[in-house]
């Protein structure tokens, strides 16, 4: 379940104006600090985005940064960074993102299960808007928990 | 009838779109529709009847056949309309 992964320490807010590189580095920071990913995983995400990876843009201002498990995923983990100002992917205005998620999975099965959990929550219009409106980590956790209990 | 959601890796967004298409196929009560996901490089014109991609793969998907381009892969309203239209085109609705 997403609520097991996205804990308070893994949810951050930033008032700063960041570049997409800074945003990806910062959203990955809690996972790096916890040892969930290696520095190589962050590098792999940055490289794949630089190579044209606006595919991580889910729409509605939300992006899901991730790399392949073998790039340095130690434990299955998810983090979130909410920005006060958008950090457009590859500096392209049409990819303005102000809600970054970072995602690591240790194998295909864990990958699919965590991805499914995120997809359900982000595809629910009401929960998605509430997530965008949330202003603290406890609020985010409450929203996710409520969504999971309603399923 | 086969719908195929595609992304560049076949791991991330295509799987999300596949899940959402399956939900909508269920809502619409469509029978005889299978939904799969894959990376775009392993898909060919015969891989499916309708291909779903996000905007970033719009150009890469040309030539596959009936391609539906999505603005957002988590927008259920947009996807519902796209799936409905495809179902109507193929006489399923």
For residue A35, is it left (φ>0), alpha (ψ between -120 and 50) or beta?
Answer: left
Q: What is the pLDDT of residue A53?
A: 76
Grade residue A46 by pLDDT with cuts at 50, 70 and 90: very high
- Cite the DSSP H helix spans in B1-90: 13-28, 58-61, 76-89
CATH number at residue A69: 3.40.930.10
Q: Is the pLDDT of residue A67 over 90?
A: no
pLDDT at A55 (0 to 100): 81
* ipTM (interface pTM): 0.83
**Average of pLDDT values for B58-65?**
94
Answer yes or no: do B19 and A60 touch at CB < 8 A.
no
A122 CA: distance to closest CA in chain B (Å): 6
Q: Any chain A CB within 8 A of the CB of B66?
A: no
How far is residue B67's CA from residue B56's CA, in Å, rounded to a whole number? 13
For residues A88 and B14, give the distance between their C-alpha atoms in angstroms, rounded to a whole number. 22
pLDDT score, position A114? 78
Band of pLDDT at residue A99, cut at 50, 70 and 90: very high
The percent of residues in chain B predicted with pLDDT above 70, rounded, is 100
**How much is the pLDDT for A128?**
95
Compute the residue count for chain B: 93
Q: What pLDDT is recorded for position A1?
A: 83
Query: Hey, is the C-beta of A1 within 8 angstroms of any chain B C-beta?
Result: no
Over residues B40-62, the mean pLDDT reads 94
Q: Which of A85-115 are b and which e, b meaning 16 or more Cβ less than 10 Å from the residue's Cβ?
A: ebbbbeeeeebebbbbbbbbbeeeebbeebb
- How close B76 gets to chain A, by Cα (Å)? 6
**Phi first, then psi: what are they for B47, rounded to 5°?**
-70, -25
Indicate the pTM of the whole model: 0.91
Q: Are residues A38 and A74 in contact, defined by beta-carbon separation less than 8 angstroms?
A: yes
Mean of pLDDT values over A32-45: 97
* Residues within 8 A of B (CB atoms), A 13-52 only: 52
CB half-sphere exposure, A42, CA atoms < 13 A: 20
Task: Tell whether B15 is within 8 A of chain A (Cβ).
Answer: yes
pLDDT tens track for A110-149: 778 778 888 999 999 999 999 999 999 999 999 999 999 9
The residue of B21, B24, B74 whose CB has the most chain A CBs within 10 angstroms, and thus the best one to mutate to test that interface, is B74
How far A98 CA sits from the closest chain B CA (Å)?
Answer: 15
How close does chain A come to B88, measured CA to CA in Å?
A: 24
Residue A63 or residue A69, greater confidence: A63
Structure-block tokens of residue B10: 């076949």
Q: What are phi and psi of B36, to 5 degrees?
A: -135, 170
pLDDT the model gives residue B1: 95
Confidence band (pLDDT; 50, 70, 90) for A69?
A: confident
Quote the pLDDT of residue A64. 93
Question: Is A68 touching B (CB cutoff 8 A)?
Answer: yes
Domain B2-89: CATH superfamily is Response regulator (3.40.50.2300)
If one compares A109 and B29, the residue with the highest pLDDT of the two is: B29
The boundaries of the domain holding residue A73 are 2-150
B41 touches chain A (CB under 8 A): no
- At B78 the pLDDT is 97
Of B11, B19, B72, nearest to A59 by CB-CB distance is B72
Report, as an integer, the average pLDDT of A41-58: 91
Which of the four pLDDT bands, split at 50, 70 and 90, describes residue B34? very high
Chain B CB within 8 Å of residue A110 CB: no
């Amino acid at each position: 379940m997403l609520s097991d992964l996205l804990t308070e320490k893994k949810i951050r807010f930033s008032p700063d104006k960041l570049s997409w590189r800074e945003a990806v580095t910062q959203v990955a920071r809690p996972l790096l600090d916890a040892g969930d990913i290696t520095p190589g995983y962050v590098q792999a995400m940055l490289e794949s985005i630089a190579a044209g990876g606006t595919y991580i843009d889910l729409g509605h201002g939300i992006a899901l940064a991730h790399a392949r498990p073998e790039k340095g995923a130690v434990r299955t983990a998810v983090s979130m960074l909410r920005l006060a100002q958008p950090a457009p992917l590859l500096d392209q205005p049409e990819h303005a993102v102000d809600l970054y998620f970072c995602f690591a999975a240790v194998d295909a099965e864990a990958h699919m299960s965590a991805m499914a959990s995120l997809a359900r929550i982000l595809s629910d219009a009401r929960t998605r808007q509430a997530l965008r409106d949330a202003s603290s980590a406890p609020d985010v956790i409450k929203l996710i928990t409520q969504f999971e209990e309603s399923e | 009838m086969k719908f195929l959601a595609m992304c560049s890796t076949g791991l991330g967004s295509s799987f999300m779109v596949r899940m959402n298409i399956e939900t909508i196929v269920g809502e619409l009560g469509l029978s005889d529709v299978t939904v799969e996901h894959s990376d775009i490089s392993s898909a060919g014109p015969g891989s499916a009847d309708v291909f779903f991609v996000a905007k970033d793969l719009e150009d890469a998907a040309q030539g596959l056949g009936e391609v539906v381009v999505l603005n957002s892969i988590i927008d259920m309203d947009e996807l519902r309309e796209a799936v409905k239209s495809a179902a109507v085109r193929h006489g399923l609705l």
